[in-house]
């Protein structure tokens, strides 16, 4: 508590007056921030907390009936489809990194080196990002139509090659879905890399050229270290985003064939809106969150260790 002598202290009175003046001066900023904070609380944090709480209850539809502790988690993990779905999620991440992680970096470097036409290519690569996810999925679904009327099969038949089952082939499904995601999303990532590349001091490249460094050495020793922060951020965002993909598998395959393209988020959706098991759906969502949190922590620890070395 503040004593009487403290309250009469000129220094204390001055600090209190400064705090009040700053608060009154920033009232307009608070007015701008408060609506966003309220919206964030009611539409993000409140559903998140309620979902975590609901995962510990037995539910009838979407209503909590009785507290059952970790039983929902046990039921979800013991489900025969869970292991396949979890493996699929990691396969999605693997193929996403193999197919689509390096592509934006390479494209960004190529565009950055152009002397003319940069604006056109920036628009061209960003255009797929403006296509809604559902529409893009339906477009690629028509391309991968397994019958003779499918666009890709028509092209194969025209050159005398056998038609393919495409999305109906369990060995190809995940890779094809990842191609769809990469096509639609890599343009925005390219623009972020372009912004990072354009912030690099050109004097570094000139000095390296004078020292006899070729294109590859300049890229490896200057470009990559300068954009390493952006690369790390994009890695985290890509892993977490692909681990939670939902639209593309839902529209293109509905998780099939035989759960070959099922994802954790799609399985959670089926629990909630097909089986009406809200407790199981929330439990699977929490499991997904914990897995992503562990992966993120591991990445940051490895990155910190590498930087220290």
- Least trusted range by pLDDT, from 26-30, 46-50, 121-125: 26-30
Spans of all domains in the chain:
4-54, 74-308
**Cβ-based neighbour number of residue 303 at 10 Å:** 15
How far apart, in whole angstroms, are the C-alpha atoms of residue 288 and residue 76? Answer: 12
Residue of higher predicted confidence among 175 and 23: 175
Q: Residue 51 pLDDT > 90, yes or no? A: no
Please determine, for residue 102, whether its predicted confidence score (pLDDT) is greater than 60: yes
User: What is the token pair recorded at 85?
Assistant: 């779905």
Lowest mean pLDDT: which of 22-26, 114-118, 266-270?
22-26
- Residue 268 makes CB contacts below 8 A (sequence gap 6+) with 281, 284, 285, 288
Asked if 141 contacts 167 with a C-beta cutoff of 8 angstroms, the reply is: yes
Counting other chains too, the contacts that 96-100 makes at CB distance below 8 Å and 24 or more residues apart are 96/178, 96/181, 96/182, 96/238, 96/239, 96/242, 97/235, 97/238, 97/239, 99/175, 99/178, 99/179, 99/182, 100/178, 100/181, 100/182, 100/185, 100/186, 100/238
The mean pLDDT value of the chain amounts to 84
Q: Over the range 269-302, which residues count as b (16 or more CB within 10 Å of their CB) and which as e?
A: bbbbeeeebbbbbbbbbbbbeebbeebeeeeeee
Q: Tokens for 130?
A: 């403006």
Longest dimension (CA), the chain: 96
pLDDT tens digits for range 106-163: 889 888 888 888 888 888 888 888 888 888 888 898 889 888 888 888 998 888 888 8
Q: How confident is the model at residue 10 (pLDDT cuts 50, 70, 90)?
A: low
**Looking at residue 4, what is its pLDDT?**
46
Task: Tell the residue number behind the tokens 């372009």, with chain if given.
Answer: 194
- At what angle are helices 10-25 and 27-40 packed, to 10 degrees? 70
| Structure-token pair, residue 301 | 């620890």
**Mutual angle of helices 151-158 and 133-143, in 10-degree steps:** 30
Give per-residue burial for 129-160: e unless 16+ CB within 10 Å, then b. beeebeebbebbbebbbeeeebebbeeeeeee
Tokens of 219: 């890229």
pLDDT digits (tens, 9 = 90+) for 206-219: 888 887 878 888 88
Strand partners, 59: 64
> Given this structure, which CATH class describes domain 74-308?
mainly alpha
């Amino acid at each position: 508590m503040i004593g009487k002598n403290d309250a009469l202290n000129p220094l204390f009175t001055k600090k209190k007056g400064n705090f009040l003046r700053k608060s009154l001066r920033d009232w307009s900023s608070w007015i701008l921030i408060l609506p966003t904070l309220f919206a964030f609380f009611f539409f993000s944090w409140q559903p998140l907390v309620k979902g975590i709480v609901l995962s510990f209850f037995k539910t009838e539809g979407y209503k909590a009936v009785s507290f059952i502790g970790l039983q929902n988690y046990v039921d979800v993990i013991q489900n025969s489809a869970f292991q396949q779905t979890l493996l699929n999620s990691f396969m999605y991440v693997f193929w996403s990194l193999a197919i689509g992680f390096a592509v934006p970096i390479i494209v960004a470097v190529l565009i950055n080196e152009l002397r003319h036409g940069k604006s056109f290519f920036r628009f061209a690569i960003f255009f797929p990002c403006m296509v809604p996810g559902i529409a893009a999925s339906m477009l690629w679904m028509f391309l991968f139509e397994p019958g003779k009327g499918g666009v890709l099969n028509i092209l194969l038949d025209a050159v005398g090659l056998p038609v393919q089952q495409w999305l109906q082939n369990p060995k190809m499904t995940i890779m094809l879905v990842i191609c769809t995601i990469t096509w639609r999303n890599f343009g925005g990532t390219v623009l972020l890399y372009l912004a990072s590349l354009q912030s690099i001091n050109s004097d570094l490249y000139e000095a390296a050229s004078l020292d006899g460094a070729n294109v590859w050495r300049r890229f490896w020793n200057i470009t990559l270290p300068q954009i390493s922060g952006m690369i790390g951020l994009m890695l985290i965002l890509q892993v977490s985003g692909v681990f939670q993909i939902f639209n593309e598998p839902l529209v293109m395959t509905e998780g099939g064939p035989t759960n070959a393209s099922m994802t954790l988020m799609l399985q959670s959706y089926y629990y909630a809106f097909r089986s009406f098991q809200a407790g199981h759906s929330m439990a699977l969502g929490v499991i997904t969150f914990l897995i992503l949190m562990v992966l993120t922590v591991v990445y940051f620890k490895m990155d910190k260790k590498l930087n220290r070395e």
